[in-house]
């Protein structure tokens, strides 16, 4: 795709959010770059984003995921940073003009995790148990399968969410396994939720490295971090979400995996209350993952997702 760079970079500045998880991720990429380019001065520019500041209202009401990455893109555009490291889950389906995803790195565990101090698994929660999550995707799936549970909003970074659980505000919470594992909090996981119980978010568990579109050297230097298998899966999921007009306002999940050379993509769209879930899956070649995603989106639309999406747009 790109020609081999002639030299190694002198200096790379990584833009990152300042949450512990974002900093772990930026540091992880920094270490990998230092292995590749030991002579390079690699530093991290920590930034607070709008998404981090606004904690009191539902993110879906104030503009969604783009809020977590806009400031980082401004730093790239102004030359204050060379790359930005994102959770792919937080990257809008259409990367704005002037920027490009240079690499998608190897995926960590994509599953959701059930965390509770009192119960070892989701199925064991008694009637009326309070489960914390602010994700419409997690909420709709829980409501559909476990209508006897009470879902309450839960925001904040990973540590904040765990503290709210420990303070007794919830009987259980649902978080991404990837974030917990990265922060060495994997021991807090009571149960890893299989995709049948909680289909993960598009891109969950993968990291993306974003560059300026015209920075050919930087794009080339990032290529060794690209993980083809993870990227095929994430790009299939993103293509599906893009066609469905996926945003934070839409309860939607998408998860692809490659087994014995075949990519299988599963996806769903639901009403927020979980009363209706349109789910389907489609297989294809990993290299055609994006087309699999687009086709699955069309199939979901034809089977009722269109009406759900139209109602949500009102």
Ligand X SMILES: NCc1[nH]cc(CCC(=O)O)c1CC(=O)O
List the catalytic residues: 90
Report the C-alpha dihedral over residues 281, 284, 286, 291, rounded to 10 degrees.
-80
Instruction: Please give the Cα distance from 294 to 27 (Å, whole number).
Output: 34
* Distance in Å, CB of 293 to ligand X, minimum: 18
**Closer of 175 and 191 to ligand X (Cβ):** 175
Of positions 104, 178, 220, 239, contacts ligand X by CB under 6 A? 178
* Site for ligand X contains 64 (CB under 6 A): no
* Site for ligand X contains 87 (CB under 6 A): yes
* Distance in Å, CB of 14 to ligand X, minimum: 16
Of positions 71, 73, 82, 90, contacts ligand X by CB under 6 A? 90
> Exposure string (b/e) for 92-126, b if CB count within 10 Å is 16 or more?
bbebeeebbbbbbbebbbbbbbbbbeebeebeebe
Strands 207-212 and 150-152: unpaired
Under 8 Å between Cβ of 212 and 72: no
Of positions 85, 176, 278, 300, contacts ligand X by CB under 6 A? 176
Which pair of structure tokens corresponds to residue 289? 């993952």
Which pair of structure tokens corresponds to residue 136? 């419409």
Q: Which stretch binds ligand X (CB under 6 A): 124-132, 143-151, 162-170, 171-179?
A: 171-179
| Edge-to-edge order in the sheet of strand 112-115 | 150-152, 130-132, 172-176, 112-115, 191-193
* Distance in Å, CB of 285 to ligand X, minimum: 26
Under 8 Å between Cβ of 259 and 312: no
* Distance in Å, CB of 15 to ligand X, minimum: 16
**Closer of 30 and 89 to ligand X (Cβ):** 89
**Closer of 73 and 215 to ligand X (Cβ):** 73
Residues 274-313 within binding reach of ligand X (CB under 6 A): none
Residues that bind ligand X (CB under 6 A): 87, 89-90, 175-176, 178-179, 204-205
């Amino acid at each position: 795709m790109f020609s081999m760079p002639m030299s190694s970079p002198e200096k790379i500045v990584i833009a990152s959010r300042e949450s512990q998880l974002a900093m772990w991720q930026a540091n992880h990429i920094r270490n990998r770059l230092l292995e590749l380019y030991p002579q390079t001065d690699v530093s991290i520019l920590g930034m607070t984003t709008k998404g981090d500041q606004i904690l009191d209202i539902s993110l879906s009401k104030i503009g969604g995921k783009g809020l977590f990455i806009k400031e980082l893109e401004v730093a790239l555009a102004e030359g204050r940073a060379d790359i930005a490291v994102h959770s792919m889950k937080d990257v809008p389906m259409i990367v704005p003009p002037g920027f490009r995803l240079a690499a998608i790195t190897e995926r960590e565990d994509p599953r959701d995790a059930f965390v509770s101090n009192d119960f070892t698994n989701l199925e064991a929660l008694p009637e009326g148990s309070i489960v914390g999550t602010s994700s419409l995707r997690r909420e709709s799936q829980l409501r559909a399968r476990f209508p006897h549970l009470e879902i309450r909003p839960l925001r904040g970074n990973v540590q904040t969410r765990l503290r709210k659980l420990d303070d007794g505000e919830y009987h259980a919470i649902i978080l991404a396994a990837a974030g917990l594992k990265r922060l060495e909090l994997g021991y807090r996981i009571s149960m890893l939720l299989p995709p049948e119980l909680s289909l993960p978010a598009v891109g969950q568990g993968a990291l993306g490295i974003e560059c300026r579109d015209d920075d050919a050297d930087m794009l080339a230097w990032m290529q060794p971090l690209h993980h083809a298998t993870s990227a095929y899966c994430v790009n299939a999921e993103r293509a599906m979400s893009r066609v469905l007009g996926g945003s934070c306002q839409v309860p939607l999940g998408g998860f692809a995996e490659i087994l014995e050379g075949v990519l299988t993509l599963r996806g769903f769209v639901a009403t927020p209350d979980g009363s209706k879930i349109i789910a389907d899956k489609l297989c294809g070649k990993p290299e055609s993952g994006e087309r699999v995603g687009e086709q699955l989106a069309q199939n979901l639309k034809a089977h009722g997702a269109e009406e759900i999406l139209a109602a949500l747009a009102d």
